Structure 1
């Protein structure tokens, strides 16, 4: 590509950047949808358990908790971890494309000493990056899991749900 002109290179970089942005948007949307649906499901089941007149025997509570734990493990440590890995790779490629376009270089587009993009954005996709999207989603899933587990084990035979207060 040594003989290609600068405008062509910029067009290729911009097209590649748009593709990476779209890929990142799709991954974020998947994570958000899975997180919201899983949390909603766990809270809804916990609500049903706490309001139901049905009693779940202790051995079934353990079975359901193990099944829930396996499903949670697969969701959190396999599926979502894989999405996070792909998202981080996309972020690193985006940063490289943005650097090539001069978005982190001062005075590229104006006379200001600061670049168009903040320097800390260069850390996106690395351990030094400060994005919290995935950790926030994980926290919500842990909370949902805990609510459902507590709802299962606080249920009693006589009054459906033991009041903690």
Structure 2
């Protein structure tokens, strides 16, 4: 059986490059999404889709102390989601809800990416790469869930109490 070295430089570089590629893809997707109407389904699917990521905790190397998990989730919920919430506004155009285009939104995403990369580089020096991945998954999950809850509330305020999916 092959034993993986989770702290190898190649794995660290690969995980950083992979995170950068994924983050840039998300930025491009978000910019394109502003041209299409928003629906309840489009608001709630990302956090629901991310829940499958919790399966990573089945692997013993990924497990982290419960306190670390809670702190990571709360940092995402209260700190990292705040710029996204502040930068997302809806507008009603011909009966459909659209995200208002904002130049600052791309800069917010790039700023969050930069902070996340710096934190990731620091933290992975102290714990294994799988555990670092688990912490940042929980941070991202807290961030996206809070952002999407806020988006849903704003959507309901604009469309009324019974929004169409």
Q: Same fold (TM over 0.5)?
A: no
Higher share of residues assigned strand? 2
TM-score normalised according to structure 2 size: 0.34
TM-score normalised according to structure 1 size: 0.34
Specify the structure having the higher radius of gyration (Cα): 1
